[in-house]
Amino acid sequence: MTPSEFQDRLLVWFDKHGRHDLPWQNPASPYKVWVSEVMLQQTQVATVIPYFNAFIARFPDIQSLAEASVDTVLQYWAGLGYYARGRNLHKCAQIIAERGGSFPDSLDELLDLPGIGRSTAGAILSIAFKKSHPILDGNVKRVLTRFAGISEWPGSTEAGKSLWKLSTLYTPVHRVEDYTQAIMDLGATICTRGKPNCTVCPLVSACRAHIENKTATIPAPKPARKQPVKQVYFLCLTTNENSILLEQRPSAGIWGGLWSLPEFDTIESAHSWCMIRHIDIINEYTLPEVRHTFSHYHLDFTPLHFQTNNPNHFVMEANRMLWYKPEQFSSLALAAPIKRLLHQIYKD
């Protein structure tokens, strides 16, 4: 199948069956496309839509995002995961605002910004600026891997090189914004990871995976690697005033910049921490262990619920520790597992 035929078949399908009413499409501004593409990294459209709508309502343009605090930005990102994306979004906005506020429209300028890689830059340039640039997100990788019958894991270096060549070959000059959305839509709705609906795919007649009956094995899964496990204790220190001690995590690392609970390696170290601060524990119990899985390891955390009637009302600027009441939680950027844990504590 020639590149021209590949493009034509995909565009004819898109005109009839593609998604044309996504919130970042009407109208498609560089700012909206950028925010949506960053949110869509590692996250499905259905999950992103409510977050995107709330984010745009609060930060309608580059300037409002740049002027907001990172705490406020992360509050609107909480629950989406991969929080470095939210921090980088904020950094980008500040850089663009400092440079005059105009969104960059060249590949080099976009790649110079934090959190924008080649595929995200290509999506911004093609969808928002109608410039012919290839993309290679997860959906596009799956379509091209199956179409070309590539047996290697798409994340490998060699497969990546081949896929970028294919994506560049098939990306058109005309209607590039529709083509880019079309190939993403095809991967998201037809050429899905499990049970692809090949009977309605516009590319099926030339798809190597379909012809060779390999759609179940292509793309190849990531080579198995045992996930390491980290075990910690989270201190849920509550007072008779119904407050709980929360700590803002460092900007680097998991849940960077979000509010969480003080973390300890052992129960004994949590007790020692309280003793040093003259916090008397009048009641304590341990909640069941919870496993939260990140992309590269498992976090097993055990909540320690300590109750005190003589809270030390300190403010530790270095570690950003403060007491909060339940009615204040909604104004904080909390990691989803921590938010669930706090709900459990105050529900009980």
| Pairwise CA distance, residues 304 & 195, whole Å | 44
Are 300 and 229 in contact by the 8 Å Cβ rule? The answer is yes
| Pairwise CA distance, residues 64 & 68, whole Å | 6
DSSP 54-77: HHHHH--SHHHHHHS-HHHHHHHH
DSSP 78-146: TTS--THHHHHHHHHHHHHHHTTSPPP-SHHHHHTSTT--HHHHHHIIIIIH--------HHHHHHHHH
| Pairwise CA distance, residues 155 & 218, whole Å | 13
Positions marked active-site: 37
- Which of 275, 282, 260 is closest to 329 using CA atoms? 260
